[in-house]
């Protein structure tokens, strides 16, 4: 497959036999490479998804969209469900806390042909989401969780569109939900279940619990189980599959500033040892390509250049690029300005090795999860928690 880094000379890694993993099937959609791009707010827009698709195969999911905002057709929610003409399958991730609203959003998406695959978010640990009972907090309310999944699957099935679920282990180690939620989602007819091996309380800190993914794979037997968390390299992906038996991997922070990770993953799952190790010239070319796609996506040069700024540190991690130049790159407002600064880089600088690899993105630290009052007192939705969920559906924030 042609990539933006064809000019690079990938360094051959020691060949490691790939685990026997079947192509990943989500409903009628199949990818020979069992990899999913995790939805990331402010990152996985159509421009970034195209960049990743230019490097390797897989499922590429949109940024999370609030169901209520989508039903209200807010301009931002409609932008979030924008796809390239050649993007297939078109995967939308929805968030909601009310079965009727989620059903209405799914009905809109499938009846208007806006997507080929719907993913439901039950894993977001962000306080503005969990304090409304959403994201990683919601599976604790087992009946509500099942009702939302059932509503989405029922509406999507009318047009043959598969629904998947992405979740975390639970609220914290004392309130785990992944096994119950996985079985419930399977029973309600989802096409796959993905688990990030952390609790909401962990946020992105510590290590992902791959053993939890293995336990979920044992519990959910009729649909694919996908693992998420600490996949920083193709070797990590292979090891996760070996250790857990999962049917594929979900990649989030590992591809920040490294869209070529999907080329590595494609090669690794095919049993090939080559890995992309771009020099600074190739990285600069990828930054330029990303910025160009962002400008095209927004239809606004300033907006596109402002978006590329947050990616700069990720792209140049480990490379010798001076602090002043990094700061100036973080302030670009035109493609011409970006070109001028990129031209000053040492295009012959080789890949720095381990310095450019490994964790990226903010890990944060464990934190107390923001929850509605009395949320953990009962697995059913009642009392003050019920009122919070009702009020949450009156808000269109987040989409």
Catalytic residues: 124
Residue with tokens 């302030």: 331
Phi and psi based region of residue 306 (left: phi greater than 0; alpha: psi -120 to 50; beta: remaining): alpha
| Number of helices followed by number of strands (H, E) in the chain | 16, 12
Round to the nearest angstrom and report the end-to-end CA distance of the chain. Answer: 34
> Comparing C-alpha atoms, which of 3, 17, 51, 14 is closest to residue 269?
17
**CB 162 within 8 Å of CB 29:** yes
Q: Look at residue 315 and give its three-state secondary structure.
A: helix
The 3 state secondary structure assigned to 15-36 is CCCCCCCCCEEECCEEECCCEE
* SS3 of residue 63 by DSSP: strand
Contact 240, 254 (CB under 8 A): no
Cα–Cα distance, 234 to 240 (Å, whole number) = 10
Q: What letter would DSSP give residue 181? A: H
């Amino acid at each position: 497959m042609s990539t933006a880094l064809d000019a690079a000379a990938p360094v051959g890694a020691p060949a490691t036999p790939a685990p026997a993993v079947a192509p990943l099937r989500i409903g009628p959609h199949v990818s020979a490479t069992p990899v999913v791009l995790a939805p990331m707010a402010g990152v996985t827009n159509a421009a970034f998804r195209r960049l990743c698709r230019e490097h390797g195969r897989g499922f590429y999911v949109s940024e999370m969209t609030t169901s209520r905002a989508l039903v209200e057709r807010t301009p931002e929610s409609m932008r979030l469900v924008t796809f390239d003409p050649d993007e297939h399958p078109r995967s939308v991730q929805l968030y909601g806390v009310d079965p009727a609203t989620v059903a209405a959003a799914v009905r809109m998406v499938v009846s208007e042909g806006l997507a080929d695959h719907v993913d439901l978010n039950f894993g977001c640990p962000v306080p503005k989401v969990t304090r409304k009972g959403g994201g990683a907090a919601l599976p604790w309310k087992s009946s509500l969780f099942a009702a939302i999944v059932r509503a989405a699957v029922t509406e999507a099935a009318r047009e043959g569109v598969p629904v998947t679920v992405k979740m975390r282990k639970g609220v914290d180690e004392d309130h785990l939900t992944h096994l119950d939620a996985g079985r419930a989602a399977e029973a309600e007819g989802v096409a796959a279940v993905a688990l990030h091996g952390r609790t909401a309380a962990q946020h992105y800190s510590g290590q992902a619990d791959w053993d939890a993914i293995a336990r979920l794979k044992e519990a959910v037997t009729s649909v694919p189980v996908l693992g998420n968390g600490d996949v920083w390299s193709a070797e990590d992906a292979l090891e996760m599959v070996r250790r857990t038996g999962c049917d594929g991997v979900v990649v989030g922070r590992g591809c920040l500033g490294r869209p070529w990770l999907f080329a590595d993953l494609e090669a690794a799952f095919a049993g090939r040892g080559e890995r992309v190790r771009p020099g600074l010239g190739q990285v600069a070319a990828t930054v330029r390509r990303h910025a160009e796609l962002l400008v095209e996506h927004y239809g606004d040069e300033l907006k596109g250049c402002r978006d590329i700024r947050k990616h700069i540190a990720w792209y140049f991690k480990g490379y010798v690029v001076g602090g002043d130049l990094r700061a100036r790159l973080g302030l670009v407002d035109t493609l011409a300005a970006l070109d001028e600064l990129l031209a000053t880089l040492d295009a012959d600088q080789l890949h720095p090795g381990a310095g450019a690899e490994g964790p990226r993105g903010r890990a944060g630290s464990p934190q107390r999860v923001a929850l509605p009052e009395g949320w953990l007192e009962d697995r059913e939705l009642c009392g003050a928690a019920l009122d919070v969920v009702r009020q949450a559906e009156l808000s269109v924030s987040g989409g």
